[in-house]
Structure 1
Amino acid sequence: MIRKAIMEDIKDIMEIIRQTIAEMRTYNNTQWDENYPQKKDFIYDIENENLFIVERNEILVGFLCINKIEPAEYNGLNWSLNEDCLVLHRMSVSPNHRRCGIASELMKFTESLALKNNIQYLKTDTYSVNAKMQALFKKCGYNFVGEIHFNGKEKPFYCYEKILSK
């Protein structure tokens, strides 16, 4: 089941973050670290009703922030459309629940949410070292747009888009 996150979910979300950062470090992925994402990011997402969680047997197993906030770094890219879009941020699935379709379920949920709100355009990005997210985006029909750089990160981030049909 996917639902909007509530403040009581923060503890479980931060545990998934801790596990995800540890797993990322095993393949030299520094996309997430002690500086990002932080608890305050998720509190902000919950307050703005932009954070969605997946539960299995009443256990929080994954989450995704969906909003209309595009990083300023996106401005330099040649996106296909110049219209309202939803942007995917801060997605993770508990390492204990991976390879079960949860990430794909979150991606499909994003598409449904967009279409329900008359939005046909999705954008996202991931660290160039994060081959798992890149593969997920490609599997879900996203197209590569270009590279951006975020302060404090050595390697580029890859940006993706998807145009939805009604």
Structure 2
Amino acid sequence: MRKATLNDLNTVMNIIKETVKDMNSSGNYQWDNNYPNKNTFENDINNNTLYIKEIDGDIAGFICIDYNEAKEYDELNWSSNQKSAVIHRMAVNPNFRRRGIGTKLIDFAKKISIDKNINHIKTDTHSSNDKMDNLFRKCGFNPVGEVKFAGKEDTFICYEIVLK
């Protein structure tokens, strides 16, 4: 794993484009042509919060890990009030799917959190995003509740994991 650079931006956006197509084909409209966009990822890169998983020089996947909680998270009863890491904008390159890349990205989020003495990770996904729901649960995350984000019709399931 490595931190993303601006040189990665075009490939990241190509992966997003393919991921949005895949999501939309299964009725998941979590992401669209407006979000996440190039500016979103430029900010992630400039803030050193976007991490890349490479395989043989190709971007296999990426994950944003920061400490920015959506205000909607305040509505939920989390198991910890301590500072939490938050997973955002995670995607796997279609050419590398079904190889455990998603699990590796989550494992990295856990490791980087522990290394920074953060024992709690929060995240969310669209209520129809079965792939992410399955991945989060497989990686030990528990659902906490659902929230609605401004401009989105459907709910998002929020998850947490308390690290040892």
Q: Give the TM-score category using the shorter length.
A: over 0.9
Task: After TM superposition, list the pairs within 5 Å mapping 1:74-93 onto structure 2.
Answer: 74-93=73-92
2:125 corresponds to: 126
1:51-93 deviations in Å (ceiling 9; x for gaps): 0011111001110000000000100100011001100000000
Listed as ranges, the gaps of 5+ residues in structure 1 are none
Specify the SS of the correspondent of 1:90.
Answer: strand
For residues 60 and 14 of structure 2, the distance between their equivalents in structure 1, rounded to whole angstroms, comes to: 10
Specify the SS of the correspondent of 2:134.
Answer: helix
2:141 corresponds to: 142
Using structure 2 for the length normalisation, give the TM-score. 0.99
2:69 corresponds to: 70
For residues 122 and 143 of structure 2, the distance between their equivalents in structure 1, rounded to whole angstroms, comes to: 10
1:11 corresponds to: 10
For residues 107 and 24 of structure 1, the distance between their equivalents in structure 2, rounded to whole angstroms, comes to: 20
2:50 corresponds to: 51
Partner AA of 1:14 in structure 2: M
For residues 59 and 139 of structure 1, the distance between their equivalents in structure 2, rounded to whole angstroms, comes to: 26
For residues 84 and 99 of structure 2, the distance between their equivalents in structure 1, rounded to whole angstroms, comes to: 28
Runs of 4+ in 1 over 3 A off after TM superposition: none
For residues 144 and 28 of structure 1, the distance between their equivalents in structure 2, rounded to whole angstroms, comes to: 21
For residues 153 and 95 of structure 2, the distance between their equivalents in structure 1, rounded to whole angstroms, comes to: 29
Specify the SS of the correspondent of 1:64.
Answer: strand
Deviation at 1:139, TM superposition (A): 0.1
1:153 corresponds to: 152
1:105-152 deviations in Å (ceiling 9; x for gaps): 000001110010011000000000100000000000001000000112
Residue 110 in 1 paired to residue 99 in 2? no
For residues 136 and 59 of structure 2, the distance between their equivalents in structure 1, rounded to whole angstroms, comes to: 22
RMSD: 0.5
For residues 126 and 148 of structure 1, the distance between their equivalents in structure 2, rounded to whole angstroms, comes to: 10
Using structure 1 for the length normalisation, give the TM-score. 0.98
For residues 61 and 146 of structure 1, the distance between their equivalents in structure 2, rounded to whole angstroms, comes to: 30
Deviation at 1:153, TM superposition (A): 1.2
1:24 corresponds to: 23
